[in-house]
Chains A and B, each alone.
Chain A
């Protein structure tokens, strides 16, 4: 059989560092959408704790364990990111493999909020978007999932087909913020 080379969604596009902010790609082992069945939210959270050591995040939040993180991704939905999910989770929720559907980008460094302020309508500054917070909103015209997993780091997920556009838009915003800083 031919040996095929796997490409990541943002292959060869990152990392990019401009003015103290670095954009890089994260390639998780798996991304699974968890959508609890009616009345099963608590049971799913308990099963997640048991299997992977983290709770199901409520709206606008993310949770973390040594092996996984879970990011709220919409009404009755969270993305479990890390090694493939334990099969027991399917007792309480629909579990849908999303691994190849998203590009996961991280924006790290001082001033990540200034970069994202040029692209998204929501306030991602530290005072309102703290560590452990997550949000669904727009990155330019793209539907995105945002999560702050560290003080100076925000993870951005958009559909894989839009990886190149997302990197381009973020790079332009990074250049703009750096240019403004050096003009002061």
Chain B
């Protein structure tokens, strides 16, 4: 498998470390309630098909990447720098 890093170009999977589902980009508000926080911390889908994950370009530029890929075909559909897609507020 190869991932096209937006900075480094097409790279072998051995340069990357997977974090898991991109849910970490959607952290609930502090007062969202136990159910929302329980789901955020503990519940994960295991999709057969398209999913979005976080990958770290550990042996490359060090960027966090948001990778959309198909778990059935292993196609990589989209790769973006996480920081380009995350809205920041002053509270962050």
Contacts and interface: CB of A to CB of B under 8 A. Distances in A.
Contacts of A138: 14-15, 59
B47 interface: no
B7 interface: yes
Interface residues of A, number: 12
A75 interface: yes
B86 to A, nearest CB: 14
B11 A60 contact: no
Given A59-B7, A60-B7, A121 B14 contact: yes
Given A75-B63, A143-B59, A60 B15 contact: no
A83 interface: no
> From DSSP, what is the main secondary structure of chain A's interface residues?
strand
Contacts, number: 38
Contact of B15 (A59, A74, A121): A121
Interface string A104-133: 000000000000000001100000000000
A28 to B, nearest CB: 22
Contacts of B63: 74-75
Contact of B7 (A75, A122, A143): A75
Contacts of B11: 121-122, 137
Interface string A50-61: 000000000110
Contact of A136 (B12, B14, B59, B81): B59
B61 interface: yes
Contacts of B15: 121, 137-138
A77 to B, nearest CB: 8
Interface string B38-76: 000000000000000000001111110000000000000
Interface of B: 7-9, 11-12, 14-15, 58-63, 81
12 contacts: A59-B7, A60-B8, A75-B7, A121-B11, A121-B12, A121-B15, A135-B8, A136-B62, A137-B8, A138-B14, A143-B58, A143-B59
Given A74-B60, A136-B8, A143-B59, 7 more contacts: A59-B7, A75-B63, A75-B81, A121-B12, A136-B62, A138-B15, A143-B58
